[in-house]
Amino acid sequence: MKRTSKILILLLIFSMVLSLAACEKTETPNEEPEEQGETKNEEKVDLTGTTLNIVATSESYKEFFDKFTDETGVKVEFISMSSGELLSRVRAEEGKPMADVWFGGGLDAFMQAKEEGLLESYISKESEDIPVEFKDPEGYWIGKGLTIVGLLVNKDILEEKNLPMPTSWKDLTNPEYKDEIIMSNPAISGTNYAAVNGLLQLMGEEEGWKFFEEMNKNIPYYAKRGKDPQLKTMEGEFAIGIIPADKSAFDLQEEQNVEVVFPQDGIPWVPEGVAIFKNSQNLEGAKAFIDFMLSKENQQILAQIDGKDGAQMVKPGVEGYDLGVPKEKLIKQDLSSFGKDRERILEKWAELVGDK
């Protein structure tokens, strides 16, 4: 009887172990739905029928924006505005930006906007291969390409006034060019701020400011729009304009008696920025646009639209529009200076030129 009792006890224990194991198996599947739910939440938002407002540096990007609309169903409305003008306007809007996306313009204004809390952070997967010097580590801005600074020279004016062809920046201090040079205010134009900052880095602060003081004697006034130097030089109001050396400038060589000149003593350049405004009304649409813009396929299309991004794109493997830029002449620049030294440089500039 004792032996039989022991066997029964062992059988009961074995049965209990099997029951516990069965319970564990039935509870395990409950973990699955949580993982599936997380995956479902990552699905893309349907943006069809929404509107994305973009501020761009040029109206020539319409074709590019239309492609984004075709692929996503997001309607794009855009206006053209220089970076300095836009920065002033966004400050005045006090948290209610006029647009969702800031597309193009000198990096200095983007750096300043980040410091003032005007931008939204977003790191796109498409940005992983872009070099660190062309993107903000916290995702507040990213470069889409480079703007190269050069000169546009009206050869008719040179011939009419018997003026020499300029070949360097220092040539622009020649008294023969008095009232014949036009440049946009660097507080408004990212391109001309790039010229000022880049040349200060090339020449050194002391020599650089001496150069600008001498060149200032040949400039009757500073334009309030970034494109004015190109337009007014083309129209014959000036002999020399300091410009973004893009495809539109090179196209003029075939249509007008003008010539694009890359100064032999050094070529300033600046990355063109892209960012999302803080408090964007279509944040998901803005993120989708950044992803779209940074894809290799669309970077290649962007590079060929008007060549505004100069001879070099920031996306590896993407060829820019060939402007014949002598790359060995590109100034070796500290890009961090474009943001951190902006206010100091512009204050010094305002003291130098006065009310021009």
pLDDT value at residue 144:
87
For 213, the 3-state DSSP assignment is helix
- The Cα–Cα gap between 101 and 116 comes to 17
Residues 300 and 349 in one domain: no
Q: Which domain holds residue 262?
A: 147-269+343-353
Q: Which of 150, 323, 322 is nearest to 240 (CA)?
A: 150
Same domain, residue pair 125 and 220: no
pLDDT at 140 over 70: yes
**Residues 32-37, mean pLDDT to the nearest whole number:** 35
Please state, in angstroms and rounded to a whole number, the distance separating the CA atoms of residues 174 and 260: 19
**Pseudo-torsion of CA 96, 76, 283, 318, nearest 10°?**
-120
Q: Which residues of 272-283 are buried (b: 16+ CB within 10 A; e: fewer)?
A: bbbbbbbebebb
Mean pLDDT of 266-277: 93
Q: Three-state SS for 50?
A: coil
Residues 263 and 151 in one domain: yes
Lowest mean pLDDT among 65-69, 124-128, 194-198, 298-302: 298-302
For residues 95 and 112, state if they share a domain: yes
Q: Tell me, yes or no, whether 101 lies in a domain.
A: yes
- Within a domain: residue 6? no
Residue 314 lies in a domain: yes
Assess whether 130 and 230 both reside in one domain.
Answer: no
Residues 69 and 164 in one domain: no
Q: Do 163 and 131 reside in the same domain of the chain?
A: no
Please give the tally of structural domains in the chain: 2
The answer to whether residues 194 and 278 belong to one domain is: no
Same domain, 241 and 276: no
Residue whose C-alpha is closest to residue 105's, from 56, 53, 139 = 56
* Domain assignment of residue 33, yes or no: no
Q: Is 186 a domain residue?
A: yes
Measured between alpha carbons, how far is 138 from 247 in angstroms, rounded to an integer?
Answer: 32
The 10s digit of each residue's pLDDT in 83-112 is 778 888 888 887 789 899 999 888 888 999
Answer yes or no: do 107 and 232 share one domain.
Answer: no
Q: What pLDDT digit, counting tens, does each position of 48-93 carry?
A: 999 999 999 878 889 999 999 999 999 999 998 887 788 888 888 8
